[in-house]
Amino acid sequence: MTIMENQHCALWAVSPVDGRYANKTAILRNYFSEGALIIYRLKVEVEYFIALKEYGIDELKDISADQLILLRNIYLKLTDRDILRIKEIENITNHDVKAVEYFLKEKFNEIGLERYVEFVHFGLTSQDVNNTAIPMAMRDFHQEQLKQHWKTLHETLEHFASMWKDIPMLARTHGQPASPTTIGKEFKVFAERFSQQLNYFNHIPFAAKFAGATGNFNAHKVAYPDIDWYKFAKDFVENRLLLHYSFPTTQIEHYDHLAAYFDAIKRLNVILLDLCRDVWQYISMEYFVQMINENEVGSSAMPHKVNPIDFENAEGNLGISNALLIHFGEKLPISRLQRDLTDSTVLRNLGVALAHHFIALQSIFKGFQKIMLNPDKIKQDLDENWAVLAEAIQTYLRKINYPHPYETLKKLTRRNEKINRQTIHEFIDSLEIGDEEKKYLKNLSPFNYTGIAGL
């Protein structure tokens, strides 16, 4: 397909994931597209057939090592023409997994394995294939893409935390000036929150179901009553497909682990939403300024504007991602009796939810590359808010048993006038305390009243 044809397809895409943001999400096609799902399904079918042969099924014992290579090449070297052939078959069968089975049988005939075609999809139901193919795609995307992006974001937050750890900043609680903090400490908060949530992913397995039509190996047991099918399936899923084996199940995997995974990403999204809104606010307060690109336009009507669009874009995409993830987590673990089909169409949208998360990550990276600290504005805000020392002074006065310290500071700071350095120092001089104590309090300023925020 030419560049122009690619652009044309993006222009007419229904979803922005494959349209406006196609250049940001192209990598997800390797895991969540229709073609990718077909490849993963073929891998399950082929590896299952090979596992039957290697487990000692007599009817398959004559298959050679060279033929096994040819079998694996079916999915390892799958072409677009092959995928289109599977879709042609599906148009006839109206069943996607059955189309994969029939395609494999055609391939068996081509490579001289026609006598073994009935061992393709032997004893399986569609969900034995889907509930192994999809978690493999999820696992691979997690390991090959998401983890690296999360690592980069965490390192970026840690970098900001370290670089700005000693730069004091006026804090705000309820939107009002509060005891100062440091910019680095506030980024450290997000770095630590993000890091702790990432640890949860180490405990969430990518789980698979593989046990026949209703989870009991009914057909397998009829055909080969002496084989320990549970042992076979557990070994196949865990040692060959490298997934966690769920047993017992109904016709489908119960998706509880998948729901836990979505909940974990949802929590990451919430933390990132909080981060984006805070950075947006800091930009609005001019604590950060954004580097100007002369070719970009901030507003179609107001030429002066440089908008924090990357953090706004991330916020919007994180919200869409979470809306879908919440639905996945609530819907997928529920299926009527042993099986209904409602999970099928939902599972086809996993890539959409993860794509919006992926887009948001890239927008945050881009936004971080544009911001620069504005120390003059930060210092100005601190210098205009000496009233925040009221907490420090009244707490110190409590220590030395000064009468009614809180109420005394309340009278000072709630007067309808500006509290500055001179006001604070005159107040300290009026206190009936020792000269050393006054000197100690006068050494305080909004610039050094940051506690242990610099650690």
Per DSSP, 254 falls in state: -
DSSP-derived 3-state class of residue 242: coil
11-19 long-range CB contacts below 8 Å, 24 or more apart?
Answer: 15/352, 17/351, 17/352, 17/355, 17/356, 17/359
Q: Which residues are catalytic?
A: 174, 299
d(CA 454, CA 182): 7
- Looking only at the bridges linking them, the beta strands covering 207-208 and 244-245 are parallel
**Exposed, middle or buried, 446 (CB in 10 Å: 0-12/13-18/19+)?**
buried
Q: Which two tokens stand for residue 260?
A: 């836990």
- Helices 256-284 and 183-200: crossing angle in degrees, nearest 10, is 170
Q: Which two tokens stand for residue 352?
A: 């959409």
Residue 356 has phi, psi (to 5 degrees) of -65, -35
Is residue 268 a contact partner of residue 197, using CB atoms and an 8 Å limit? yes
For 17, 115, 162, 265, 349, the CA distances from 454, given in Å and listed in that order, are 41, 73, 9, 30, 44
Is residue 386 a contact partner of residue 178, using CB atoms and an 8 Å limit? no
The answer to whether the bond into 248 is cis (omega within 30° of 0) is yes
Q: Which two tokens stand for residue 34?
A: 């229709």
State the sign of the Cα–Cα–Cα–Cα dihedral 163, 169, 171, 172. negative
State the sign of the Cα–Cα–Cα–Cα dihedral 235, 236, 240, 241. negative
**Exposed, middle or buried, 84 (CB in 10 Å: 0-12/13-18/19+)?**
exposed
Q: What is the DSSP string of 67-126?
A: HHHHHHHHHHT--HHHHHHHHHHHHHHS-HHHHHHHHHHHHHHHTT-GGGGGGTTTT--H
DSSP-derived 3-state class of residue 411: helix
